[in-house]
Amino acid sequence: MLSSKLLRFRDPQLAAIWEKVRHGERLSKDDGLALYATHDVIGLGRMANEVSRAKSGDSVYFVLNQKFEPTNICVLSCKFCDFAVKKGAPEAYEQSIEEMLSMLNPNIREVHITMGLHPDWEWQYYVDMVRRIKENFPLIDVKAFTAVEIDFFAKKFKKTHEEVLSELKAVGLKTMPGGGAEVFSERVRKLIFNQKIGAKTWFEVHRKAHRLGIQSNVTMLYGHVETIEERIEHMMKVRDVQDETGGFLTFIPLAFQPGDTGIKTRNNFTSAIDDLKTIAISRLMLDNVPHIKAYWVMLTAEVAAVALNFGADDMDGTVGYERIAHDAGATSPMQLQKEKIISIIHEAGKIPVERDVWYNPLHIYTAEGTTVVSKMPYLNSVPFYAEFEPSSGDVKVAPLVPHVFGEFAKEGKVDAGPMSLMDYAEQQDEFDMLDYGVAVNGKAYSVLLYSHYEWSKLSGKRIGITGETSTSVNLLRVLLEKKYGVKDVKFERLHLTSSQNDYTHFDAVLLIGDEALRRHKLGGLGTFLNVYDLAEEWHAWKKMPFVFAVWAVRKTVAGDHREAIVEALEHSLAFTKGKEVELGRDHAKRLGMTREELGTYISAFTYTLGSAEKEAIDTFLGEVYNIVTM
Amino acid sequence: MLSIIKEKVFANERLTREEGLWLLKNGSLLDLAEMAEHVRYRHNPQAKVTFVIDSNPNYTNVCNIDCIFCAFYRHEGDADAYTYTVDQMIERFKAAEKRGVRTVLLQGGVNPAIPLEYYTELVRRTRAEVPGIHPHFFSTSEIIGMCEVSGLSLPEVLAKLKEAGLNSIPGGGAEVLSDKVKKKISSKKGTSADWLNVMREAHKLGYKTTATMMYGHLETDEDVVEHFDVIRDLQDEYHGFTAFIPWSFKPGNTPLEKIIPSYASSTRYLEMIAFSRIYLDNFQHIQASWFSEGKKTGQMALHFGADDFGGTLEEENVHASANFVHTTTIKEMVDLIRDAGFTPAERTTLYDIVGEYAEGQYPDCVLDTARLDVHINADVIMPTIPAGMQN
């Protein structure tokens, strides 16, 4: 179950659909059609907003990015495209890699590259393009090449899709954009883009990319000749593939603009209501896709702003097409664009979160007067948030892994939440501890050390450690040094995005949360022989519970906000008592857990901290300081 | 608090000032929308949206009020200052009438060189010579200006205009009806009480007027609620307001641009539309403005409490002076309403329905008339008082 909330609808048909949505049931094609047919646009938006909040809290993501289209010369001539030209045409252009490098703003985090299918360019040119960007700008991640381009490369250079993708990945390709999907309908393809790859090849390429650890987006171009039914079918096809691979990050509805394409639409733009409905329906149909993007460049800023309350949780980014470098010190268009995006997100009542290509938060921009509560995105935290509805509109929720919460808390940007014990210990002068937290008395199931070696033989070995929290890492150090007397272990921090990690490089790896549970379900981590549950190790040693996180509230948070937080937290915990399994069902399903496993897992946790837990905190922190000062 | 407010709204009860302020500060966009839709369909049960075929010309850009949010006004003697004669205006109205325009919303400048007779003459001749056009003339500031120029009292001026044939006046110039704000942005425009006073006297005489609000500059939520509160109170007295029309401040080319560099987002606009619908429980119509906020925002507003799409605005100069230009055609306007999910219905200034248009049907006039970009050219500029109009 997602929510106990009862919504009021003008359209009674929506009430039945909401029942399905709030119970976590998947919507059917007929449901999708009914949603498009409704006149109750606000009711539709409320449902989508609830779903979006359950996934992303109040966060709306954006990225500092630039878009490159290195050539408009294309061997295809698709009817709906007014970008591509033939070689020799007066508007034809080709950019050199040097030109691209000179145009890159070093402050961005993502470069988006798509282009025409050039008849003459060599394979090496594309490889060099990615490689040289990565070499010159290590902080900029490359999101490049649609499935159409990948398929073109494979055919032209006589390679398999896998070869093309792996060679690009090896030089720095991180994710793929979702373009070229148009509408997954043979009828539409024959009508307006018959030269393009169809749905089958498109999905084939993305499936292969996902398997290689290249996550991607998926678009839908709407508002031309497609039917509503075809839009719903498009979404359902995406949903099916996502069930298989889990590799799609974002669904992006693109509003068609007729421009000079010659395709006739009633007005020169889609209706704002069609735009909002499409965003909201995508959010409701695609229960397994993490993000829905309001791409303001095509949607217009006015609709994108409102879409943030209709299910969208991503605004794309600054999308700079900067052709000249800016004078140092001058306000760049990118800076202005960034400020505008932040203010649009604030006005929508949401929290702007600047992200990387995988949606890891880099910065959070808390509005004045707003209190931000961190949401731990793990299965064991469901009871805190299932019914967490603060009565003040200025208390917002942002999903952050514990380590990021700790960092943002230090910057003064996030003010409350279940704080990793080590972060709390570090910041206890600024925070008050509530009597709530995450503790176990025995196994934790989701704090696991996968190791080629037994404890005693880990000396001098390389251990990959989770980047998500420092508490588990310190627990590992305490166990190694104090329980097993093992020293000189080399710790290396893992990437926050699991698809970017190669665990075979390590002698052991420490994983926590959902990643630990997922790997465990997948039969552990390949060849690692030993799997140790750190909380169980601690319990066997100290005969004590272990506390991973404590709820903390910044001392300066206004009284009414603090009250609202405590009230919402206590309400959620009381409401979820005994219903944890039901509430965690969807989340567990994504991790491949059975109902029984979920029951065992969730019942291991205690959310109220009593004297035993507090004593355990002191004991653990004592051990940690002991190591530090030794 | 939210549940108490929702209960009251759904029980068709009036919100107090405190409840209104709480809602404006804390209510989410969709909470506001949900309540606004309830009130919208209580006042106007059908999924119908009205519009008017109109034009917003100006007879002068000479103005002595110097509002810091305005990019339109000029001073007497400025090279691009102009004042049209009554003849010139009548000619323009006739041309507009031929193109299908049914209402002219006419405003200045507050030009102290123009005598009262100019205004009464303009109304009288419009009624007599351009019968297809409804005169919706003169803002409160201009009417106060007429009192000053003529030495007559406000009821006397309003009576003279009425006698000449005027029966409705536009609600512009209210900005935010809070003297704290008015002092900062339009110190010479008079107080809130001045605007309300003209409206009250007009309503007493049987005039219909609109009420407006321009937000997004220096006002606080408290000021906004005060604005809503005073117009709701006045509406209780005579029910003279036909509609409420909010729009956001456009900073382009205005002195205020330095402090407020960009205009408020569509979210804020939709919140204002929805909030006005909820709070102004005695207003039948809330007008969405495709013109001042953008076509797509206009469409969205129709699902946030608005039931009217405003005018086609064949001509408009004030927003244009702030580099904020949207144009439409009558056909596009009808399609915008339809594509937002409503039946388009053409209305008069006084909100009587003239015609409803089913799919594929359009008003019987020049459909593709775009807004005329009126560039002020030398031969129509009248830098001095129109001949024959001196007292």
Reported as a single tens digit per residue, the pLDDT across A143-188 is 999 999 999 999 999 999 999 999 999 999 999 999 989 999 999 9
Q: How many residues does chain A have?
A: 630
Cα(A19)–Cα(A25) distance, integer angstroms: 8
Whether A48 and A155 share a structural domain: yes
User: Please, what is the average pLDDT of chain B?
Assistant: 87
Whether A511 and A561 share a structural domain: no
- CA of A441 to nearest chain B CA: how many angstroms apart? 41
Quick check: B380 pLDDT over 50? Answer: no
A46–B30 CB contact, under 8 Å? yes
The pLDDT of residue B165: 97
Amino acid type, B284: Q
Quick check: A72 pLDDT over 60? Answer: yes
Whether A136 and A238 share a structural domain: yes
Cα(A304)–Cα(A286) distance, integer angstroms: 19
Closest CA to A142 of A158, A120, A165: A165
Whether A317 and A454 share a structural domain: no
A41–B303 CB contact, under 8 Å? yes
B339–A393 CB contact, under 8 Å? no
The pLDDT of residue A469: 87
Residue where a domain terminates, one of A542, A575, A599 = A542
- The dihedral of CA A548, A554, A557, A563: what is its sign? positive
**Residue A293: inside a domain:** yes
Reduced to 3 states, what is the DSSP secondary structure of residue A454? Answer: coil
pLDDT in tens, A271-302: 999 999 999 999 999 999 999 999 988 888 89
For chain A positions 207-266, those within 8 Å of chain B (CB to CB) are: 266
**Residue A295: inside a domain:** yes
Summarize the confidence of residues A377-405 as an average pLDDT. 92
From chain A, the residues in CB contact with B42 under 8 A are none
Residue B367: pLDDT band by 50, 70, 90 thresholds?
low
Tokens of A100: 């691209």
Cα(B38)–Cα(A26) distance, integer angstroms: 30
- Give A514 or A248, the one with higher predicted confidence: A248
Assess A10–B contact: CB distance below 8 Å, yes or no.
Answer: yes
Summarize the confidence of residues A613-617 as an average pLDDT. 96
**Residue A32: inside a domain:** yes
Whether A418 and A532 share a structural domain: no
Whether A347 and A425 share a structural domain: no
**Residue A47: inside a domain:** yes
Summarize the confidence of residues A96-118 as an average pLDDT. 92
Quick check: A312 pLDDT over 80? Answer: yes
Give the residue numbers spanning the domain of A300.
12-362
Interface of B with A (CB under 8 A): 1-2, 10, 25-30, 33-34, 37, 41, 47, 262, 264-268, 270, 293-297, 299-300, 303-304, 332, 335-336, 339-341
Whether A600 and A527 share a structural domain: no
Quick check: A345 pLDDT over 70? Answer: yes
From chain A, the residues in CB contact with B26 under 8 A are 392-394
Backbone angles phi, psi at A617, to 5 degrees: -60, -50
**Residue A106: inside a domain:** yes
Kindly report the CATH number assigned to the domain that includes residue A88. 3.20.20.70
Residue of B nearest to A348 (CA): B267
Whether A287 and A182 share a structural domain: yes
Whether A140 and A278 share a structural domain: yes
For chain A positions 362-421, those within 8 Å of chain B (CB to CB) are: 391-394
Cα(B271)–Cα(B278) distance, integer angstroms: 10
Kindly report the CATH number assigned to the domain that includes residue A519. 3.40.190.10
Backbone angles phi, psi at B289, to 5 degrees: -120, 100
The pLDDT of residue A544: 96
Residue of A nearest to B274 (CA): A42
Whether A68 and A182 share a structural domain: yes
From chain B, the residues in CB contact with A348 under 8 A are 29, 265, 267
The pLDDT of residue A321: 55
The pLDDT of residue A525: 67
B175: CB partners within 8 A, 6+ apart: B67, B69, B181, B182, B185, B186, B189, B213, B214
B339–A348 CB contact, under 8 Å? no
Quick check: A332 pLDDT over 90? Answer: no
The pLDDT of residue B38: 97
Q: What is the ipTM of this complex?
A: 0.90
From chain B, the residues in CB contact with A266 under 8 A are 335, 339
Tokens of A234: 């498009």
Residue B158: pLDDT band by 50, 70, 90 thresholds?
very high
Quick check: A401 pLDDT over 80? Answer: yes
Assess A193–B contact: CB distance below 8 Å, yes or no.
Answer: no
Whether A504 and A522 share a structural domain: yes
pLDDT in tens, B316-342: 777 777 766 677 788 888 999 999 999
Q: How would CATH label the architecture of B17-380?
A: Alpha-Beta Barrel (3.20)
**Residue A600: inside a domain:** yes
**Residue A272: inside a domain:** yes
pLDDT in tens, B256-311: 777 777 777 899 999 999 999 999 999 999 999 888 888 999 999 999 999 999 98
Cα(B39)–Cα(B20) distance, integer angstroms: 15
The pLDDT of residue B207: 97
Residue with tokens 């289209």: A69
Assess A343–B contact: CB distance below 8 Å, yes or no.
Answer: yes
Residue A524: pLDDT band by 50, 70, 90 thresholds?
low
Assess A5–B contact: CB distance below 8 Å, yes or no.
Answer: no
A391–B262 CB contact, under 8 Å? no
Number of domains in chain A: 3
Share of chain A above pLDDT 70, in %: 96
A309–B30 CB contact, under 8 Å? yes
Residue of B nearest to A49 (CA): B30
Quick check: A318 pLDDT over 90? Answer: no
Quick check: B376 pLDDT over 50? Answer: no
Domain ranges in chain B are 17-380
B268–A347 CB contact, under 8 Å? yes
The pLDDT of residue B391: 34
Quick check: A369 pLDDT over 50? Answer: yes
Residue of A nearest to B341 (CA): A39
